[in-house]
Chain A
Amino acid sequence: QKEVEQNSGPLSVPEGAIASLNCTYSDRGSQSFFWYRQYSGKSPELIMSIYSNGDKEDGRFTAQLNKASQYVSLLIRDSQPSDSATYLCAVLPNAGNNRKLIWGLGTSLGVNP
């Protein structure tokens, strides 16, 4: 059973701090990784995708991928109250003809003014 695990939280950080969200996955051959943000009562929206080991930066967001250790993380710099949301990690396994995204349950983040 391919799995994706995230700490459910809630993770609470003060405004301006760095929020660090982690995601581990069980399928070692996974190649594609996605971070989505979901505000309460809304649908998930893509923050970023990452496919190669290392860091990928987009504005205040940085995704970090370590395939050897089978984890992907999301760093949010200068956290704002508007970043308060649930962050979903999704992983695309590598094997099989009809691959589908495997989703974590999400980490709830609260940024305190």
Chain B
Amino acid sequence: KAGVTQTPRYLIKTRGQQVTLSCSPISGHRSVSWYQQTPGQGLQFLFEYFSETQRNKGNFPGRFSGRQFSNSRSEMNVSTLELGDSALYLCASSLVPVGSGTPRTQYFGPGTRLTVL
């Protein structure tokens, strides 16, 4: 079974631009979570989508948004990029939301390395 895929793997943008990242979960997985990882802050939760609905959201400004499609693929958008948005953006999928009933394991994609100049 194929793993979680993310595109693109690397991105270089300039301040003020916007960016869209894509994530395809493991086949059959309906929940997708997004994380930002930086050396100083570790893994920071952005949001989780399940059945095309945002189920959970972290403490990030409104410039960060996402959506999920009917085939469970998800996109994340960052508008008006800032230097501090430079990070590794990770997508993780699970069968159902991590916090629902029986614990569910998340499996991570390879990430998108975003550099903002």
Which residues of A are at the interface with B, using a C-beta cutoff of 8 A? 31-32, 34, 36, 42-46, 49, 51, 88, 92, 96-101, 103-106
B90 at the interface (CB under 8 A from A): yes
| A97 partner residues in chain B, CB cutoff 8 A | 99
B25-42: CB near A (< 8 Å → 1, else 0) gives 000000001000000001
Task: Give the interface of B toward A (CB within 8 A).
Answer: 33, 42-43, 45, 48, 55-56, 58, 88, 90, 97-99, 103, 105-111
The A interface is mostly helix, strand or loop, or mixed, namely loop
Contact indicator B98/A99 (Cβ below 8 Å): yes
Find out whether the CB atom of A32 lies under 8 angstroms from the CB atom of B103: yes
- 14 CB-based A-B contacts, threshold 8 Å: A31-B103, A43-B90, A44-B43, A44-B108, A45-B108, A46-B105, A51-B103, A88-B43, A98-B97, A99-B56, A99-B99, A100-B99, A101-B45, A103-B43
Minimum C-beta distance from B89 to chain A (A): 10
Q: Closest Cβ of chain B: how far from A56's Cβ, in Å?
A: 13
Q: Rank and list the top 8 A-B pairs by shortest CB-CB distance, nearest first.
A: A99-B99, A32-B103, A105-B42, A43-B108, A103-B43, A98-B56, A43-B111, A44-B108
